[in-house]
């Protein structure tokens, strides 16, 4: 049985995008577009993790959090907020949110945080997300955020690491530059000149035995990149 995630978000576009990606990861997802329903679902469905927007109709995010905490004090909660006000942050954390992510956020980063929180509760959860992936001579351990090549540690820059995860997530399917930008840089990012390519180059330099003839990080002409595990 997969982990249950409740997404509380009234912006339909954003909700859809996040929901899609969560399902892609294999999570069981429900979406609530207002606070009242959110509380109901939280209590009846008992999700393993909650993603909570603070700006909501009906009942604002703080109240939702408070209500939920009364009945399920241990569910990890990640707050999604567009506001950057310090006051909000403090207040949210006082009510014991576990993480605080500001919009626009990177999908990959969000997924990482989700996985981390679920893993932490792993003992209570039957199917914690896997923490190790490998292809070719490369091993990735997402828990320690470590990449090994031929067993030797290999330091990637943060962006390159996230980009790698984004490719891994695709499981061999091609990813367009724009998609990658959205997933790694955040959905608010503009298209920037050659940024993705540069980081792809770093990955090849550090992970491929012959960067000039990449075997794993493959270019798909006019489309984007894909990861070939072979």
Partner DNA sequence: TGCTGATTTCACACATCTATTACATCCAGA
Partner DNA sequence: TCTGGATGTAATAGATGTGTGAAATCAGCA
Contact 99, 79 (CB under 8 A): yes
Does 11 sit near DNA (CB under 7 A)? no
- Residue 123 CA to residue 119 CA, distance in Å, equals 8
Q: In a 10 Å sphere around its CB, with 0-12 CB exposed, 13-18 middle and 19+ buried, how is residue 61 labelled?
A: buried
Does 172 sit near its own copies (CB under 8 A)? yes
196-229 b/e (C-beta count within 10 Å ≥ 16 → b):
beebbebbbebbbeeeeebbbbeeeeeebbbbee
Residue 152 φ/ψ, nearest 5 degrees: -100, 135
Contact 89, 100 (CB under 8 A): yes
Candidate ranges 2-10, 22-30, 83-91, 209-217; the one touching its own copies (CB under 8 A): 83-91
Q: How far is the CB of 189 from DNA (least distance, A)?
A: 8
Considering CB distances under 5 to 8 angstroms, the limit depending on partner class, which of its own copies, DNA, none binds residue 188?
A: its own copies
Does 158 sit near its own copies (CB under 8 A)? yes
Candidate ranges 74-82, 100-108, 111-119, 197-205; the one touching DNA (CB under 7 A): 197-205
Contact 183, 18 (CB under 8 A): no
> CA triplet 142, 221, 158: central angle to 5 degrees?
25
Does 223 sit near its own copies (CB under 8 A)? yes
Candidate ranges 28-36, 53-61, 118-126, 203-211; the one touching its own copies (CB under 8 A): 118-126
Candidate ranges 17-25, 38-46, 108-116, 202-210; the one touching its own copies (CB under 8 A): 108-116
Cβ proximity to its own copies, 55 vs 174, nearer residue: 174
Q: Among 128, 148, 174, 201, which residue interacts with DNA (rule: CB under 7 A)?
A: 201
- C-alpha count within 13 angstroms, C-beta hemisphere, residue 188: 6
**Interacting residues with its own copies (CB under 8 A):** 69-74, 86, 89-90, 93-94, 96, 98-100, 112-113, 116-117, 119-124, 126, 143-145, 157-158, 172-174, 178, 182, 188-190, 220-223, 226, 228
**Interacting residues with DNA (CB under 7 A):** 66-67, 70, 155, 157-160, 177, 185, 191-195, 197-201, 204-205, 211-212, 219, 221-224
């Amino acid at each position: 049985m997969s982990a249950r995630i409740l997404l509380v978000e009234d912006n339909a576009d954003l909700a859809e995008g996040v929901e899609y990606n969560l399902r892609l990861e294999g999570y069981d997802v429900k979406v609530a577009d207002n606070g009242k329903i959110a509380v109901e679902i939280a209590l009846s469905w008992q999700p393993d993790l909650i993603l909570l927007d603070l700006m909501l109709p009906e009942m604002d995010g703080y109240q939702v959090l408070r209500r939920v905490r009364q009945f399920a004090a241990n569910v990890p909660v990640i707050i999604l907020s567009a506001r950057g006000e310090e006051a909000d942050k403090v207040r949210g954390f006082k009510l014991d949110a576990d993480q605080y992510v500001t919009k626009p956020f990177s999908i990959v980063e969000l997924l990482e945080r989700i996985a981390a929180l679920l893993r932490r509760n792993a003992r209570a959860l039957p199917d914690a997300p896997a923490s190790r992936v490998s292809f070719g001579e490369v091993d990735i351990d997402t828990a320690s955020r470590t990449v090994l090549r031929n067993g030797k540690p290999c330091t990637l820059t943060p962006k390159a690491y996230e980009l790698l995860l984004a490719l891994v997530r695709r499981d061999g399917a091609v990813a367009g530059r724009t998609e990658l930008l959205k997933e790694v840089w955040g959905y608010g990012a503009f298209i920037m000149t050659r940024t993705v390519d540069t980081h792809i180059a770093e990955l090849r330099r550090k992970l491929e035995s012959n960067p000039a003839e990449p075997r794993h990080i493959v270019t798909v002409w006019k489309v984007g990149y894909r990861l070939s595990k072979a």
